[in-house]
Structure 1
Amino acid sequence: MNQSRMRLRGDRRRRSRLRQRLSAVMSVAALACLFFTAGGAEPAAAATASGDFVPLGTVSTIFDTTGSGGTALSSDSTTAVQVLGQGGVPTSGVTAVSLRIEAQQVNTTASGYVQLYPNGTSRPTPGSLINVSPGDTADNSAVIQVGADGKIAVYNHTGPTNLKITVDGYFNSDSSGTTSGGFVPTTQTRLVDTRSGIGADIAQIPAAGSIDVQVDGIAGITGESALYANFTVPSPGAAGSLYAYPTGGSPSQPVMTFDSTTSAVTGTVAVGTTA
């Protein structure tokens, strides 16, 4: 029986002889997953079936608390943000949107995080998209499934936090089904957490070490060739890089680099097949 998997590998960026070890958290990002079936992606210009990506001509801001009259998000608060009909996104026929999110914590001494998910659904726990240190600014990209009311929900854990959201494209929906290479959203699921033993042993990944992550069969995922996921390195204590690549393949470019603080990034990673 073949199983689709991907591999996570951690490397250090220090010349010290001490071996850096890091924890890794990976979840199917922001309630959205990419399934790529055999045959490759359809051209975006021919977006006629569910899952096809439609780029927007310009990048538009759909939410911004930093402008005149804007109010920072308060701690432990949830805000509904209208997506359909905004920034060139149609009012219907949309499954998910491609976003860029920038968060800045102000007047606080505690680190926090921000989550985005379809409005009207339960907030994923856990599931941070952006981790922000006191007084710092952090950003990330995400593909977020849109709620039935055309909105996404934004949860701010620790604040006050300023937030800016821009949209650069959306994924089409159609009753004819999903084309080869199309996008299929799925409920956010944590695939691996080396701190708690989800999908891997409770052990940090050593420098130049790696772990395999089971993908196929988790959270209804099937027939995929790539995955859109959120990668988090919590409190590594030193700078380094995290690679994500198909099991059976070789690492090339890191999916993320990080310093000594918690970092998160989303990315699309192909999956390998093992017997």
Structure 2
Amino acid sequence: MKIVVIGGTGLIGSKLVTKLGEHGHEAIAASPNTGVNTLTGEGLAEVMKGTDVVIDVSNSPSFEDAAVLEFFTTSTRNLLAAEKEAGVGHHVALSVVGTGRRPDIGYFAAKVAQENLIKESGIPFSIVHATQFFEFGQRIADGATKGNEVYIAPVAFQPIAGDEVAQNVGRTAVGTPLNGSIEIAGPTRYQMDEFFRKALAAWGDPREVVTDPHAHYFGAEIDELTLVPGEGATLGQITYKDWLKTA
């Protein structure tokens, strides 16, 4: 099976390409670095030739509201048009748990726009909603830092290892299109501020975590269930403690 991975040189994409290759698939890493640009359309027609499945795990270089919306809508339109022309039979997209519940958050609104384009395209599809990755913990902490303090809301938080994100996305890609979505999350549900207290201690980071119910995440206040999946989610097995041993 020929599978094109958009964003295939990034964190999740590179893991996907490796895992799919190990299972005998022809996995192509497609990104601007490899001559495929979904924003400009460069290289799309060529890479789509003979493709069975497209997996989109690309991400916007900017998380500013207008920029991220422009990225996901433009790139997704270009990608879907190229897939239609080539007769691709399955489009898989990695999205975020909670997008539909909080469209007031700019990044989530952009992902909702992306998902709607996919649903309306007529191409069989599967959407995988994932919680935050362990690998992004430091970035989240940095974005919440003022001086030597990290302001985190006391809400539910259930991050997942990137390896298990790739595993679930890959499994979905080689299966029958869902024409719907699934949720995936880590094995442990934490209180977000407590998670980051433990994480910073494990990193040897001297910053202090401040519990703040009004702390922003992606530019907005979040409630208790914004970042966690509903019932029936697929849960990983790698704990944060175990992940740290190999990070």
TM-score of the superposed pair, with normalisation by structure 2: 0.29
Structure with more relative contact order (C-alpha pairs < 8 Å, separation 6 or more): 1
- Decide which structure has greater helix share: 2
- Decide which structure has greater strand share: 1
TM-score of the superposed pair, with normalisation by structure 1: 0.27
